[in-house]
Amino acid sequence: METIVNKVAASGIITLDLARFLPEKPILSVDLSSYLWQGMVLKEKDFREAMGATDWTIFQHENVAVYCSTDAIVPTWAFMLLAGNLQQAGAQVFFGTTEHVRNQILLQNIQQMDVSSFEKAKVVVKGCGDESISEAAYVAITLKLKPVVKILMYGEPCSTVPLFKRKE
């Protein structure tokens, strides 16, 4: 009987799933429109009172997306005041929708990754999975890995698209 050899396992290819860089906890959001009169107008006195009456501690140790869902013209200082209150409560504050913030954290995590374990390695960046990953993340991981890897590919170990091969 002939022995079956798993050529993918024997190839030494490292599969990198970008989903591992996604935020570990949910992203909370604060929509500034909920603090506006009729969702459209910022009344400074009312806004400041609402900021003072809010229990910001519920955002402690959380990732928080700050945005305004309406087409209201909101003065910049309102976002600043909101961000300051969230920061004081111990939140990690980002500007944008939760999807935008999810992508910001993903990119931040890629930038902070230690690439030493990928030095001169054959790496395939996983191309599909359960999570939606932005093209920006694929660009970021390419720029992060290309200086250190021997081979960079996209897809699955059994079916890859070669992207880069270091000349020895």
- Contacts of residue 124, Cβ cutoff 8 Å, sequence gap at least 6: 13, 14, 15, 16, 153, 154, 155, 156, 157, 160
d(CA 85, CA 108): 23
Is residue 5 predicted with pLDDT exceeding 50?
no
Is residue 3 predicted with pLDDT exceeding 60?
no
Contact call for residues 15 and 157 (beta carbons, < 8 A) = yes
* DSSP designation for 129: -
Q: Is 131 helix (H, G, I), strand (E, B) or coil?
A: coil
Contact call for residues 81 and 51 (beta carbons, < 8 A) = yes
Q: What average pLDDT does the chain have?
A: 91
Is residue 159 predicted with pLDDT exceeding 90?
no
Residue range 124-154, pLDDT digits in tens? 999 887 888 999 999 999 999 999 999 999 9
Residue range 9-22, pLDDT digits in tens? 546 799 999 999 99
Query: Alpha helix (H) ranges present in 113-161?
Result: 135-145
Is residue 8 predicted with pLDDT exceeding 70?
no
pLDDT score recorded for residue 76: 95
Is residue 4 predicted with pLDDT exceeding 60?
no
Contact call for residues 137 and 54 (beta carbons, < 8 A) = no
Mean pLDDT confidence for 150-166: 90
pLDDT score recorded for residue 6: 46
Q: Global pTM?
A: 0.82
How many alpha carbons lie under 13 Å from residue 147 in its C-beta half-sphere?
Answer: 6
Contact call for residues 72 and 39 (beta carbons, < 8 A) = yes
Residue range 83-110, pLDDT digits in tens? 999 999 999 999 999 999 999 999 999 9
Tokens linked to 86: 């969230």
Q: Read off the pLDDT band of 1 (50, 70, 90).
A: low
CA distances from 122 to 37, 143, 150 (A): 57, 15, 6
- Contacts of residue 130, Cβ cutoff 8 Å, sequence gap at least 6: 19
d(CA 32, CA 84): 14
Is residue 7 predicted with pLDDT exceeding 60?
no
pLDDT score recorded for residue 73: 87
- Contacts of residue 62, Cβ cutoff 8 Å, sequence gap at least 6: 25, 27, 28, 91, 92
Each domain of the chain, given as residue ranges in start order, spans 7-22+114-165, 27-101
